[in-house]
Chains A and B, each alone.
Chain A
Amino acid sequence: MPAGSFYGLLGPNGAGKTTTLSMAVGLLRPDAGGAWVLGHDVWADPVSAKRRLGALPDGVRLFDRLSGPELLAYTGLLRGMDPATVDQRATELLDVLALGDAGRTLVVDYSAGMKKKIALACALLHAPRLLVLDEPFEAVDPVSAALIRDILGRYVAGGGTVIFSSHVMEVVERLCSHVAILDQGVIKTVGTLAEVRGGRALEEVFVEVVGGRTATGDELSWL
């Protein structure tokens, strides 16, 4: 994927989006092939690759017996950042993401949307050049989603690169410069948003590429 792009990875459930992104950030060892972050091999030279990378994995827990501020401080110090910088950035992130009110509530007691937001804050804390986000908009309320879209938009405008997976077409259509459609572990269509759409609605293209079925109205009549 080109640097500076806002890349959307689309695919139906079970297509392999999470698997792909896990292999890209070093969570899952690929059987074959490799992954490079801005020229650094994730598997051969993980330290320099992971330093440039911020990741929001889906379906994994955080260290959720810490409170939000504690978790951010922990992540920052583990990244080897200076404590004063950690304090300043963490406070700012908590403020912007409206997590400051949670006080010392443990992350395990956060709502699903708040967990997403604190995980995103952890990924942003060290100002990475590449963000890999798995389902960043899932379970997030519309206000927070708008906020996250705004943050990501400014991040890309400032020279960052984002790849995220989703199955919400409107978000992808509104944000992305590039799109790839993944089905059964194979990339079916890839290109800039305009190329993939070809003048049609993205949802139409997606259903056609993936080969979905629509309800005829006869099934489930007992409901």
Chain B
Amino acid sequence: MAVSERAALSTPVPAYRPVPAWRFARLKLRILRNSLRGRTSRVMLFLAGALFGVYLAGMGFLLAAVSSAGDPPVRLMVASFGGAALVLGSVLLPLVWFGVDDTLDPARFALLPVGRWRLVAGLFSAALVSVPAAALLVATSGLLVPAVAHGGAGAGAVQALGVVAGLLLCVAAGRAVTSAFATMLRSRRVRDLAGILLACLAALLAPLQLAVVSAVERADWDQLATVARVVGWTPLGAPYTAGIEMAQGRPVAALAKLLIAAGTVLLLLWWWSRSLEPAMVGAASAGPTRAVRGNRAGPVAQLFPRVLPGLPVTGFGAMVAREVRYWWRDAKRRANLITIAVIGVLVPMLVTAGGSRAVLDLEGTGAPALPPFATTLTVLFVGAFAASVLANQFGFDGTAYAGHVTIGVPGRPELRARAVAHALLMVPLLVLVGVVVAVVRGEPAAAPAGWGVLLAGYGTGLAVNQVVSVLGAYPLPESSNPFATASGSGIAKSLLALLAIVTAYVVATPVLVAAALLGDAWPWLAVPVGVAYGGAAAALGGRLAGNLLDRRAPELLAAVTPRR
């Protein structure tokens, strides 16, 4: 060994002090502050989100506190079902709605000497510092009121521990599931399986839902309380019902429930830490792609997907082809698309299954519990929701949009191509949703009426979201997690999507009125009316947004450029 080499090897490494977890939380706050500084619109959005959080937290607190006046089974049901709803919500909502605040992208810590558990602890404590977590804490601390009122200070203390454990559980569950889901979606195997899985899931859920509904309808108060008791022993309800056990003089049960919650948190953190490593390593790429040789087709022929043979070989056709390819190749878009497919199939099925009493009709009882109008509204929601991914369609492209700006692509064809590509993917799905809803309702002949509403809702959704996408674009972080949003923009995302859906509802009102007025004639007219109204709305929205885009292209590019 050469002398210089030996010297290099024996040079002492500087002393290493482990990073405390709260440093990560401070780092996140600092990044949040810097990202808000000097951007009035961002600050306003953040404040709006915070106010919304305060409102929800207050409502939750009141509900929990008021339950103190009820009987023991009522108190149990509020704590158990309410807690379960919160835990499930914090798992599902980040997937379908908010995204995950990815201010601290794990990939950025890949080069630093931070151990896996320390990193998880740090990221976890940073995740706890957020508006939703604070709102959750305030809302659930309302459970302290019944605990103290009925069990004194001891029950109150146990419930306080339970509330904290519940918060940790919610945050850990949300993080672990989104991280695992993101890792799954990155692999091509799962990507190809996702469609099949979805179909199976949907097929399974329909009969399950019917069974649950008929059970609930036959159930009385006592049976519901039994369900609440059982849920109270699962991780979903355990932390929130611990105080009730204490108040009723069962300290061992209370302790057991706290342990269940703590164990679940640890298990979730372990699961999260497992999926962190792939997230840290595979930063930029969406997985290796096959380099297929021997394809002698010309570049133009390669661009156009073979499944869409009718596309014109022009700039417009090229944009449609590129968009269709992007909905599948870009992990962020794919995640959104799959989520929409899940929601689009599940939500109307749950609502109609709840309302239609298909099972009870077989037994010869009762009229529908929900009026058909509720189904129509739900179906309209699915249509509008399907278009809501386009609200940040330019954010998906990010700085790549500069390519269009330097070429000078005019606004209207640009937006029309994007809408057409999205419709090519979505309209078949919507048609399917219409069939599924009609079958679940037990009236397969009603499918055309559903199609009309779905297409009208989708068209108005397209109209509104095209305008929103030009005016309200925001950058997405260039991270490996398709559910990631930059700090603070989770609120922007959900507010914009909410605004777009509500507006789409308002714009689609005439179709609902027509459906109500036309009565028996509606199923015949639904499809032409829906297509005409939706198409006209989409075209009008596209014109308006296109003109806006022609004037604002450089500003739009600046809006979707992530700050580095």
Contacts and interface: CB of A to CB of B under 8 A. Distances in A.
B288 to A, nearest CB: 7
Contacts of A74: 303, 318, 321-322
B406 A26 contact: yes
Given A55-B406, A75-B407, A78-B318, A103 B295 contact: yes
B227 interface: no
Given A66-B322, A79-B315, A104-B290, A73 B408 contact: no
A65 B329 contact: yes
A77 to B, nearest CB: 4
14 contacts: A27-B406, A60-B403, A63-B326, A70-B299, A73-B318, A74-B322, A76-B300, A77-B300, A77-B317, A87-B301, A103-B295, A104-B289, A104-B291, A104-B302
Contacts, number: 127
Given A64-B400, A74-B322, A26 B303 contact: no
A28 B408 contact: no
A105 B289 contact: yes
Contact of A50 (B291, B398, B407, B554): B407
Nearest to A69: B299
A15 interface: no
B39 interface: no
| Residues of A in contact with B, size category | 35 or more
Given A28-B557, A80-B314, A87-B300, 8 more contacts: A26-B405, A26-B406, A60-B400, A77-B313, A78-B319, A108-B284, A109-B288, A109-B289
A181 interface: no
A71 to B, nearest CB: 8
B563 interface: no
Given A50-B408, A60-B402, A83-B313, A29 B299 contact: no
Interface string A83-98: 1001100110010000
A159 interface: no
Interface residues of B, number: 45
Contacts of B318: 73-74, 77-78
B299 A86 contact: yes
Contacts of A64: 400
A103 B291 contact: yes
B291 A57 contact: no
Contacts of A29: 554-555
A114 B315 CA distance: 25
B404 interface: yes
Contacts of B397: 63
Nearest to A67: B302
Contacts of B321: 74
B407 A87 contact: no
A44 to B, nearest CB: 13
Interface string B381-420: 0000000000000000111101111111100000000000
Given A28-B554, A105-B289, A105-B291, A61 B399 contact: yes
A180 interface: no
B187 interface: no
A33 to B, nearest CB: 15
B314 A77 contact: yes
A66 B325 contact: yes
Interface in B318-349: 318-319, 321-322, 325-326, 329-330
Nearest to A72: B299
A83 B300 contact: yes
Given A78-B319, A78-B407, A59 B295 contact: no
A29 B319 CA distance: 25
B286 interface: yes
Contacts of A28: 554, 557-558
B285 interface: yes
A122 B300 contact: no
Given A28-B554, A50-B408, A78-B319, A103 B300 contact: no
